[in-house]
Amino acid sequence: MIHLASSGFSPAFIVSGLLVGALVGLTGVGGGSLMTPLLVLLFGFHPATAVGTDLLFASTTKSFGTLFHHAGKSVDWQVVGRLALGSIPATGLAMAVIAHHGTTSRAMSLVMSLVLGVALLLSAVSLLVKDRIIRWVMDRHPGMRRQSPPALTVLVGFVLGLLVTLSSVGAGALGTVALLLLYPKMAAVRVVGSDIAHAVPLTLIAGLGHWYLGSIDFPLLGTLLLGSIPGILLGSWAARHMSERFLRPSLGVVLALVGWRMLTVV
């Protein structure tokens, strides 16, 4: 098992899962943007262990979200398939690179930390200026209002596959923004549902790859899930009574600071 910290049963891991789950329920931001840097920076886990464990953590939690959205007919499975056509091969490619260099190598540790920092900064930007980015792109490329280019969706899936496999970050905030740009006529709830549905096979396959390479900490995973499930329920309930005007910008600033911190320790 590749980790620097102790992964025994700890109330701190339950509380971390609870807090991350609550924030996910409140804002819809992927847990990887919050959990992975928390495991690396606060608890001292090796980046490979943090990423691998968080991938299975995400696949488990988002499976429930997918069932909910599917029941509500808010998943566009054609879009999910296009994204998967790009993301699944990208996941295989990234896992081959990790296996070649070894999860414990200094090179892969640096790459994962660097990709994690960049992905966090991109997620922060997407939270802070998402609406402005969408308006700017639509003004410059009005044709995107009328079409949904399949090849471009596959390409976006490929990029997401690389980012998620190497950092466990990107399937949430970045995936949602990408779908809003590619499919501006799609209802917001279907954008969210499709993004969550795509994240399940992506994080599951990437997580299984990390499991094969020995970079999953199952006691840690179980403890995090113990806290995150009630946290997501709590956050989803609280989201009905709190304004996103404060929550999303605040979270964006936090992600930017954490991303910058990840880059400075590389």
| CA distance to 14, 74, 191, 206, 256, per residue, from 69 (Å) | 27, 5, 10, 23, 30
Q: What is the mean pLDDT of residues 180-205?
A: 83
Let me know if residue 1 belongs to a domain: no
Q: For the segment 28-86, what is each residue's pLDDT rounded down to a tens digit?
A: 666 677 888 888 888 888 888 888 998 988 888 788 778 877 787 888 999 999 999 99
Question: Which range marks the domain in which residue 120 is found?
Answer: 11-264
Quick one: which of 66, 59, 93 has its CA closest to 80? 66
Let me know if residue 176 belongs to a domain: yes
**Of the candidate ranges 119-128, 136-145, 242-251, the one whose mean pLDDT is the lowest:** 136-145
pLDDT band at 157 (very low <50, low <70, confident <90, very high): very high
b (16+ CB within 10 A) / e for 44-72: ebbbbbbbbbbbbbbbbbbbebbeebeee
**Of the candidate ranges 42-56, 147-161, 219-233, 238-252, the one whose mean pLDDT is the lowest:** 238-252
What per-residue confidence (pLDDT) applies to 211? Answer: 92
Let me know if residue 62 belongs to a domain: yes
Let me know if residue 6 belongs to a domain: no
Q: How many domains does the chain have?
A: 1
Answer positive or negative: Cα dihedral of 91, 92, 98, 103.
Answer: positive
Residues in the chain: 266
Let me know if residue 68 belongs to a domain: yes
pTM of this structure = 0.79
What per-residue confidence (pLDDT) applies to 1? Answer: 46
Q: Is the pLDDT of residue 4 over 50?
A: no
| Integer Cα distance of 57 and 10 in angstroms | 17
Q: Is the pLDDT of residue 183 over 70?
A: yes
More confident of the two residues 180 and 6: 180
Let me know if residue 5 belongs to a domain: no
What per-residue confidence (pLDDT) applies to 197? Answer: 87
Q: What is the mean pLDDT of residues 153-174?
A: 87
Answer positive or negative: Cα dihedral of 150, 173, 38, 68.
Answer: negative
3-state secondary structure of 161: helix
For the packed helices 218-239 and 47-71, what is the interaxial angle rounded to 10 degrees? 40
Q: What is the mean pLDDT of residues 123-127?
A: 77
